[in-house]
Amino acid sequence: MKQLIQNLTETFSPSGYEDAIRDLILAEIKPLADETRVDTLGNIIARKGEKTSNGQRVMVAAHMDEIGLIATHIDEAGFVRFTTIGIPFPRYLLGGRVRFASGVQGVIGSEKPDKKNEIPPVDGLFIDVGALNKKDCPVNVGDVAAFDRPFVEMGTRLVAKSLDNRAGVAVAIETMRRLGGGPNEVYFVFTVQEEVGVRGATVSAYGLDPQVGLAIDVTPAGDTPNSIRRDIALGKGPAIKIKDSQMLADPKVVAWMERAAEKAQISIQREVLTSGSTDARAIQLTRSGVPTGGLVLPCRYVHSPSEMMDYGDVENAVELLTAMLNGPIDLG
């Protein structure tokens, strides 16, 4: 699965520009799925299994887009001003390298370099693509860029840009590979535009009208020096969502997930997130409502060019999700 994660994270596909990552995922899952299709917005919908009398129609969402930047102005000296796609944090931007869809590379610089201890706002940053002037600049207004960083292994830790949420995509793909002939009809949905408002999950959930929903995503770890007080750490297992800023996980789904983890002897954590949300919010609120939960992967330095995860957490997420979907789903 490490090679898959490397291929996924190193693929350029910010929100709204998911063509490359969609092609990569389709090539991986077509041999694994009973049916695949791409909807109007660009979500991949892959069905695995047929629903039996004691089965459920389940939607498992993993967003395939990543945060990015978009050019808003080219000045006379050829420097590129930009705004964000999603929420790249300014503290991670300065000095970072980016690549545009055209292949043009750039370095992020800032105004007022004498104020070296300040974190500049996005409107005080620019991208230097090495242009001599505006006419020489190979970037146009509206061109989209993403972080440009390779995948790296550091012992059991994985470091890459866009582990949010390409690691979740890998978990979904590997679960499809392992899933046997259980009673459930499982729709693995690789969603677009999550980072700009869970747009892909909103339309795909409406179309599928699932009986149970799950979203796979990342959650910020609280295990670095003087970190925020969060009981989430790398290497202690995947986490089960209890609450985030925009949804409360269904307690029946939480209990089902916890029972599955206990039976499979998989260590888990419990997540209460005070800011941010996932595709689970959109699934939960579709049509007349769906019992929904979240399986989240602990991640350091979220929305940075060098996100970090523990590979054991990723493997255990696959084990847990497979155990959950292989048998009858009891939400009683």
Cα distance between residue 228 and residue 75, in whole Å:
39
Measure the CA–CA gap between 70 and 203, rounded to whole angstroms.
Answer: 25
pLDDT tens digits along 197-240 = 999 999 999 999 999 999 999 999 999 999 888 899 999 999 99
Q: Answer for the pair 294, 219: CB distance below 8 angstroms, yes or no.
A: no
130-149 pLDDT, tens digit each: 999 999 999 999 999 999 99
> pLDDT tens digits for 86-118?
999 888 999 999 999 999 999 999 998 777 788
Q: Any idea which residue has 């890998």 for tokens?
A: 170
Tell me the average pLDDT across 306-318. Answer: 98
* 97 and 178 together in one domain: no
Judge whether 309 lies within some domain.
yes
CA angle, corner 192, sides to 188 and 195, nearest 5? 120
Please indicate whether residue 194 is annotated as part of the active site: yes
The answer to whether residue 119 scores a pLDDT higher than 90 is no
Residue 161 CA to residue 147 CA, distance in Å, equals 7
- Which CATH number goes with the domain that contains 211? 3.40.630.10
In whole angstroms, what is the distance from residue 3 CA to residue 262 CA? 29
83-92 as b/e, with b when 16 or more CB fall inside 10 Å? ebbbebebeb
| pLDDT > 90 in the chain, percent | 93
Are residues 130 and 57 both part of a single domain?
A: no
For residue 101, give the CATH number of its domain.
Answer: 2.40.30.40
Average model confidence (pLDDT) for the chain?
96
**Per annotation, catalytic residue among 18, 185, 194, 271:** 194
Q: Are residues 56 and 104 in the same domain?
A: no
Nearest of 89, 126, 90, 123 to residue 107 by alpha carbon: 126
Predicted pLDDT at 134: 97
Same domain? 213 vs 314: yes
Q: Is the domain of 98 the same as that of 180?
A: no
Give 188's pLDDT tier (boundaries 50, 70, 90). very high
pLDDT value at residue 332: 78
Tens of pLDDT, residues 167-181: 999 999 999 999 988
Whether the CB-CB separation of 287 and 206 falls below 8 Å is answered with: yes
Give the end of a domain, one of 95, 125, 147. Answer: 147
**Co-location of 191 and 81 in the same domain:** no
**Cβ 298 vs Cβ 234: under 8 Å:** yes
Domains contained in the chain, number:
2
Asked whether the beta carbons of 21 and 32 are under 8 A apart, the reply is no
Report the C-alpha gap between 46 and 154 in whole angstroms.
33
Specify the pairing of strand 239-243 against strand 269-272.
Answer: parallel
As beta bridge partners, residue 111 has none
- The pTM score is 0.96
Same domain, 56 and 79: no
Q: What is the mean pLDDT of residues 301-322?
A: 97
Domain housing 100: 68-147
